[in-house]
A and B are shown apart, each in its own frame.
Chain A
Amino acid sequence: MTLIKKRLAASIAMAAATAVVATTAQAEISDDEVRIGYLADMSGTYRDLAGPGGLTALEMAVADFGGSVNGAPIVVFSADDRNSADVGANTVREWIDQRNVDMVAGLVASSVTIAVTKVLAENDRLGLVSGSAASSVTNEHCTPNHIHWVYDTYPLANGTAKAVVEQGGDTWFLLTADYAFGHALEADVTRVVEANGGEIVGGVRHPFPTSDFSSYILQAQGSGAKIVGLANAGADTVNAITTASQFGITQSGQQLAGLLIFLNDVHALGLEATQNLLLTTGWYWDMDEQSWEWAQRYFDEVGRMPTMVQAGIYSSTMHYLKAVEAAGTDEAQAVREQMASEPINDFFARNGRIREDGRMVHDMYLAQVKTPEASTGEWDLYEILSTIPAEEAYRPLSESQCSLVQN
């Protein structure tokens, strides 16, 4: 028992000492280090979307910034969340308790993100969410401690569905993943299609996850709709597109509209299966000179072209480090305020700004997957059709359920 008492006394003394240090160094950089934790799926479904490539992007941002802020070195560590909310939340809790982490980047699966942001808010640390799709991250689950950077389902549904209807695709058949995420996406798409004069002629909900889409695709073919909308994600979308390609959906005059699809998905599926697919993206590596330059540097490091999430990780980290430098502290609320006060215009974001609900709104793009004939290289996959202005793309604050927004 004496051992326990000694240990206890020692830890109390330590805690007291830390508290003293913390109060004296409030307006400075804690521990004289800016500590960034990168949490993402490093080995599962979302590996190619963010994963190790995202870590490289983050390290590039740190290196480009010079490796230190106001003389305090920047320290980066990373962990695999294995797409599990409790692994993610547990890891971040440990980072806070054991390593006094200042900012957590990455954050892909929505369940992990929501769990982690609760822990961050409880301990007043900052989270920069780059990978999550759910618009609820800055709606009902918003906190003053995280910023959602790259995209969410609202502009995806909004951008793609509106553009498709305007191009004459006014009858839709929806293939929906049968869980909350799919239902939300389905509702968003239905609203946008109907508001623009289109019509939902049918739909089917498939269990999550599904590997055999043949019966659903046959129903979609039989519906006579011009557009088959895919209100699902990840492996489900990939499987649906593969099956649709095997059944010759596009050859028989129907068109697919992917609502949540990334560069790495298109790359993996190949242009033969995905050609002419319409999608909304937050960024594309070949959309202009600036993007192209950064993407080339990334390609030299990783050997793959970056997704919008990986580019967003670089962009958000850079903006964070600049804000820490300007604020002269890594204290979460001061940095958050500083970040929100500066507009964001870099290779990734145009007309970007951080709203009070934590949503970083920026221009989004409507893209179409190229045909194999039109593509000039392995990664030459999209053609940008039009720009969706920042203020139109995202959910307006007047519809927000976030507690930080005065409605």
Chain B
Amino acid sequence: MPASTLLKAPTAVAQRQRRANLRRNAFYIALIGVGLVAPFIAYPVFLMKILCFALFACAFNLLLGYAGLLSFGHAAFLATGGYATGYLLASYPGLTPELGILAGTLMATLLGVLFGVLSIRRQGIYFAMVTLALAQLMFFVFIQAPFTGGEDGLHGVPRGELFGVISLRSNLAMYYFVFVIFLLGYALIQRTVHSPFGQVLKAIRENEPRAISLGYNVDAYKLVAFVISAGLAGLAGSTKTVVFQLASLTDAHWHMSGEVILMTLLGGVGTLLGPLMGAGLVVSLQHLLAQSPLGNWVSVILGAIFVVCVLSFRSGIIGELGAIYRKNFK
């Protein structure tokens, strides 16, 4: 058989791959469709909150799920993005929201470089502790710095006009803006994970000494992953500030770093959709429980759900669903 026909003939493997891609694309298109109609069914501000936290959790998951690094200081990036954007938009009324968000993201990225250089030299619990310590330093900065308003928070951030044209005062316009930001962030993570770079990250996660022995500059890979994750967390924080028109210490507190771990683990660490699911679940539960007669028990119920999830499905909700799907439909 001539070589050309061999190349043209779709092998069974390639065909299966193509079908899988098709299925995946159809799934994503369906999800985007759901995202587009969602604000007509549910309250848009609530959905925006889910999207902001989902982006935050996705950014965190890039580091934990694909590079195997458990950062306990991601709140610092969320807050840095939020405060930088909030301060700029509140003090310079001429600034459009997308520039404010860009500036906030940039600040968080720079902070990510700084934190990353210092922390990626350590692994496991030491890495977590170093990031926690650095984040606590940032918490101190935010509580003391005059521009953050201390524990009162930074208020009165205008939503402004997107590109100076589209007013974001309406919740619907704001929602679609946030939705686009989320999609861009998600696409970046999806691309990163499936790129050769992502493959190397996974290799480092599985066996770091082996990756080193194969000649990869492991520290550089980890640093880049850390910086991307920090930047996206900052993007989530910046967007959140524009949506809620305020930035507060809640975002900088270590509870927030814990909450994002909870979201990621609940949804499924190391799966792309897991953090979205986890963020949706945690935010919805908080929202529903806070307004129900069970309001006093929010923390207890969330804790119980977390314990049940960790004990019964360790790879998270999406992780378990994925396993069922692969077992029965492939």
A: which residues have CB within 8 A of B?
A: 3-4, 7-8, 11, 42-43, 47, 51-52, 77-87, 89-91, 93-94, 97-98, 110-111, 114-115, 118, 134, 136, 141, 178-181, 207-208
Contacts and interface: CB of A to CB of B under 8 A. Distances in A.
A206 to B, nearest CB: 13
Contact of B248 (A85, A91, A118): A85
Nearest to A85: B248
Contacts of B251: 86
A181 B152 CA distance: 9
B36 interface: yes
A207 B150 CA distance: 13
A89 B297 contact: no
A42 B248 contact: no
A66 B140 CA distance: 50
Contact of A208 (B143, B246, B289): B143
Contact-residue size bin, chain B (C-beta under 8 Å from the other chain):
35 or more
A404 B152 CA distance: 21
A32 B150 CA distance: 41
B295 interface: yes
B296 A43 contact: yes
Contacts of B37: 3-4, 7
B40 A4 contact: yes
A205 B105 CA distance: 34
B45 A94 contact: yes
Contacts of A77: 291
A208 to B, nearest CB: 7
B306 interface: no
10 contacts: A43-B296, A79-B290, A89-B245, A90-B49, A94-B46, A118-B156, A136-B152, A141-B152, A179-B150, A180-B152
Interface string B40-55: 1001011001000000
Contacts of B110: none
Interface of B: 36-37, 40, 43, 45-46, 49, 140, 143-144, 149-153, 155-156, 171, 240, 244-246, 248-251, 286, 289-291, 295-299
Contact of A94 (B43, B140, B149, B245): B43
A109 B239 CA distance: 24
A111 B151 contact: yes
Interface class of chain B by DSSP: helix
A118 B156 CA distance: 7
Given A3-B37, A94-B45, A181-B150, A80 B245 contact: no
Contact of A115 (B143, B155, B299): B155
User: Which 6 pairs from chain A and chain B are nearest by CB?
Assistant: A180-B150, A85-B248, A7-B40, A84-B250, A80-B295, A80-B290
B248 A111 contact: yes
A91 B250 contact: no
A85 B153 contact: yes
A80 B286 CA distance: 9
A42 B295 contact: yes
**From A91, A134, A180, residue with most partner B Cβ within 10 Å:** A180
Nearest to B140: A207
B167 to A, nearest CB: 14
A79 B43 contact: no
Given A43-B298, A47-B296, A118 B291 contact: no
A91 B290 CA distance: 9
B206 to A, nearest CB: 38
Contacts of B36: 4
Contacts of B289: 80
Given A79-B291, A179-B151, A208-B143, 9 more contacts: A42-B295, A78-B295, A79-B295, A85-B250, A90-B49, A114-B155, A118-B156, A136-B152, A180-B149
A383 to B, nearest CB: 33
Nearest to A51: B296
A93 B43 CA distance: 10
A368 B37 CA distance: 61
Nearest to A119: B245
Contacts of A181: 150-151
B39 to A, nearest CB: 9
Contacts of A134: 152
Nearest to B251: A86
B296 A118 contact: no
